[in-house]
């Protein structure tokens, strides 16, 4: 493993002996013998692990990467030693032609690559293509032998939390190492968001995220190697580590997703992603309470782009998407990943909550995803399945907003409406297109700032009611019996949905 992951230290302690003792003594006491021999069931489990490792490791390869790294630029002094010119990674052979799957971050800057087979033979390899948005890379062994071993492939769609999982690779430079643990979660899609213990800088850029989370020890050098089930079948591609004091977690790309990406890379050198055509925001408990939503999870549709698959499927603004196919949507990032990894031109069921006759009704919507149009292929990290180029109208509205903010300078305080409890000053929005109340100032650490209100926002609704005057705002605030109240604003020509704690 190189670049991002050469900075890692050993993150996981060895726990095999303790787990075996737990299994042998705690789970199978009836198998213990007077002579103290190992219980038969424990021996059978051990044999299963041994067989699984033997089945898979024949086709696992060590990658010797040679080449310069551009990631040294901008590093603090002294950090260069963590980013060597050369490095090690892992991969596995998926066909007799010598096709190797690994990670993008392992091979994307390589000038030359040597592939070392499990039996010690060494061959040159070239990069077919790699995809930074999914972290999948594909290599091809140059002049492969006729007797190449090939891995058995599993079905990552059938994985369950709690299953055993083995990682095989070259951690910390030790080739042909096997570690084991279990699958602790599925469908992780926020890997790379900055936070304590994160040791995968750059992963916040990934748009195709549907990771398998494991407690199987994964270390530098495991990247690109296989995650294997107890039958010896490859179910994932090891990619990232989350460090924490005394332990950590590993993350693997599901093999079904990796193969889909690899096939496209082999066929045309790039990856085609699905396009839904909505702009959305994350749901949360305060917003759910403020907007009477039936759940605090999901992705709230803010805008439906004309002519998009979402428009054809009759999705509507304010729909709350909670499921795509069989995958639960907990956030807009989940929706981005689910759409990006779904098949194109096939009916895909969405489960949404839609407000009808005053209550939210659960609805099933069938959408047929298409390829992202040119100009929309950079998915928004902020929560859109694809970014929508600004139309002339949006650009004009944004310019008006900016001019309005600029022209206030020494704004007329006599025209300002002050709501002390919220920590906000407002002025009547100027212009026929800007009916509402414009936010003139937001007090630091106030309820308004915590809710995300910003200078220049135009307040359109409070508590589900259209507001254009200060008395209307006050009436809705005073009449609220909930701790949070819904607020809809227009910012840069687009609606945003916020919830503000009600001052008491």
Domain identity same for 19 and 157: yes
Distance of CA 189 to the CA centre of its chain: 3
Could you tell me the residue range of the domain that residue 293 belongs to?
274-371
- Confirm whether 190 is a catalytic residue: no
- Confirm whether 134 is a catalytic residue: no
Could you tell me which residue, 109 or 118, shows the higher pLDDT? 118
- Confirm whether 135 is a catalytic residue: yes
Domain identity same for 246 and 323: no
Residue-level pLDDT at 433: 52
Euclidean distance between CA atoms 221 and 378, whole angstroms:
30
Domain identity same for 117 and 204: yes
Euclidean distance between CA atoms 283 and 332, whole angstroms:
8
Instruction: Give the least confident one: 133-142, 270-279, 315-324.
Output: 270-279
Domain identity same for 246 and 110: yes
Domain identity same for 29 and 111: yes
Instruction: Give the least confident one: 73-77, 135-139, 338-342.
Output: 73-77
Q: What is the pLDDT of residues 213-256, one digit of tens each?
A: 999 888 878 889 999 999 999 999 998 887 666 667 889 999 99
For residue 405, is it within any domain?
no
Residue-level pLDDT at 221: 80
CATH number at residue 336: 2.30.42.10
pLDDT beyond 70 at 133: yes
161 burial (CB, 10 Å; 0-12 / 13-18 / 19+) is exposed
For residue 52, is it within any domain?
yes
Domain identity same for 144 and 279: no
Residue-level pLDDT at 405: 38
Tokens representing residue 220 in the block: 């530098």
Query: Which residue of the set 69, 71, 104, 105 is catalytic?
Result: 105
pLDDT beyond 90 at 322: yes
Among residues of the chain, what percentage have pLDDT more than 90?
31
Residue 417 pLDDT class (50, 70, 90 cuts):
low
Q: Taking residues 2-17, what's their average pLDDT?
A: 38
Q: What is the pLDDT of residues 181-224, one digit of tens each?
A: 999 999 887 776 544 444 445 565 677 788 999 998 888 788 89
pLDDT beyond 90 at 502: no
Alpha carbon distances (Å) from 16 to 19, 46, 177, 285, 290: 5, 11, 14, 40, 49
Domain identity same for 156 and 264: yes
Number of structural domains found in the chain: 3
CATH number at residue 203: 2.40.10.120
Query: Which residue of the set 131, 135, 319, 401 is catalytic?
Result: 135
Instruction: Give the least confident one: 2-16, 53-67, 107-121, 430-444.
Output: 2-16
Report phi then psi at 173, rounded to 5: 85, 0
417 burial (CB, 10 Å; 0-12 / 13-18 / 19+) is middle
> How many C-beta atoms lie closer than 10 Å to residue 338's C-beta?
27
Task: With beta carbons less than 8 A apart as the criterion, state whether 232 and 304 touch.
Answer: no
For residue 395, is it within any domain?
no
Euclidean distance between CA atoms 290 and 271, whole angstroms:
40
Domain identity same for 15 and 103: yes
Which of 225, 245, 271 is a domain's end point?
A: 271
Domain identity same for 449 and 346: no
Euclidean distance between CA atoms 394 and 345, whole angstroms:
30
Q: What is the pLDDT of residues 259-286, one digit of tens each?
A: 989 999 999 888 888 889 998 888 878 7
Euclidean distance between CA atoms 195 and 49, whole angstroms:
35
Domain identity same for 260 and 354: no
187, 193, 199, 203: CA torsion to nearest 10: 70
Query: Which residue of the set 71, 90, 134, 223 is catalytic?
Result: 223
């Amino acid at each position: 493993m190189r670049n991002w992951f050469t900075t890692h230290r050993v993150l996981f302690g060895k726990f095999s002996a303790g787990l075996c003792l737990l299994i042998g003594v705690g789970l199978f006491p009836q198998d213990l013998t007077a002579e103290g021999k190992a219980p038969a069931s424990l021996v059978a489990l051990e044999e299963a692990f041994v067989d699984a490792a033997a089945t898979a490791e024949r086709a696992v390869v060590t990658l010797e990467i040679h080449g310069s790294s551009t990631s040294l630029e901008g590093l603090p002094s002294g950090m260069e030693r963590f980013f060597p010119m050369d490095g090690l990674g892992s991969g596995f052979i998926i066909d007799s032609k010598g096709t190797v799957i690994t990670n993008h971050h392992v091979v994307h800057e390589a000038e030359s690559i040597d592939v070392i087979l499990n039996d010690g033979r060494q061959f040159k390899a070239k990069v077919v293509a790699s995809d930074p948005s999914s972290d999948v890379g594909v290599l091809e062994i140059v002049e492969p032998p006729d007797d190449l071993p090939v891995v058995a492939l599993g079905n990552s769609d059938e994985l369950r939390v709690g299953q055993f999982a083995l990682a095989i690779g070259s951690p910390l430079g030790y080739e042909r190492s096997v570690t084991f643990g279990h699958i602790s979660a599925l469908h992780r899609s926020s890997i790379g968001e900055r936070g304590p213990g994160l040791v995968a800088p750059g992963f916040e850029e990934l748009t195709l995220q549907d990771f398998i989370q494991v407690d199987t020890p994964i270390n530098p050098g495991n990247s690109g190697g296989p995650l294997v089930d107890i039958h010896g079948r490859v179910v994932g591609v090891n990619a990232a580590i989350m460090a924490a004091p005394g332990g950590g977690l590993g993350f693997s790309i599901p093999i079904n997703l990796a193969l889909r990406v690899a096939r496209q890379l082999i066929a045309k050198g790039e990856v085609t992603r699905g396009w839904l055509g909505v702009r959305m925001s994350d749901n949360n408990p305060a917003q759910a309470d403020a907007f009477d939503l039936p759940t605090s999870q999901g992705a709230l549709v803010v805008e439906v782009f004309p002519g998009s698959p979402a428009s054809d499927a009759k999705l509507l603004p304010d729909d709350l998407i909670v499921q795509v196919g069989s995958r639960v949507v907990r956030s807009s990032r989940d929706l981005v990943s689910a759409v990006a990894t779904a098949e194109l031109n096939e009916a895909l069921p969405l489960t949404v909550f839609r407000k009808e006759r005053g209550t939210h009704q659960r609805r099933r919507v069938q959408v047929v995803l298409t390829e992202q149009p040119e100009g929309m292929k950079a998915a928004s990290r902020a929560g859109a399945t694809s970014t929508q180029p600004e139309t002339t109208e949006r650009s004009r509205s944004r310019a008006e907003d900016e001019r309005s903010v600029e022209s206030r300078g020494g704004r007329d305080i006599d025209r300002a409406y002050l709501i002390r409890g919220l920590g906000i000053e407002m002025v009547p929005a100027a212009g026929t297109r800007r009916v509402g109340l414009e936010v003139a100032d937001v007090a630091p650490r106030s309820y308004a700032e915590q809710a995300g209100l910003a200078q220049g926002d135009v307040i359109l609704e409070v508590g589900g009611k259209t507001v254009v005057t200060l008395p209307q705002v006050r009436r809705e605030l005073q009449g609220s019996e909930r701790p949070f109240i819904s607020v809809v604003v227009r910012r840069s020509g687009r609606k945003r949905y916020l919830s503000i704690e009600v001052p008491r």
